[in-house]
Structure 1
């Protein structure tokens, strides 16, 4: 499979990019070089390789929930730029 100038123009149109003819030519060559390099992966014997979602082992590190008292409202609102009736006051987003 190879990329043509027509393909590059189509992708540029989808991305709303204006490319000069020189840029189209350069991108066509670069994308074809990338595809040729990726084709080398087909030469690898992967029959004995187990499918993975990550290269490294990934696991979530969770801590136990601990019940504790919250901060007092007065202390929380100390750094608030504006407060009203014990709540943060923010600009209206909806009418």
Structure 2
């Protein structure tokens, strides 16, 4: 549908920007993983996990977004981030 094309293009652009930001987030996770391995810090710090998830949910709420959805989405992002850190540390210790 031609009438939706410009909107779809804008959404596609935003999707790429979100993915670019996730790439940047994972670049930082790689740096943090190296520090955690060197300093013998646990890969998963539950207090920080909870803080990040709640910060995202609260910010979403402030913007009028569904905070439960954002909390769920961030739980997935954080779980994968923690898995990435654990894998990095395991590989570094072999």
- The TM-score normalised by the length of structure 1 is 0.33
Greater fraction helix: 2
Greater RCO (Cα-Cα under 8 Å, separation 6 or more): 2
- The TM-score normalised by the length of structure 2 is 0.34
Greater fraction strand: 1
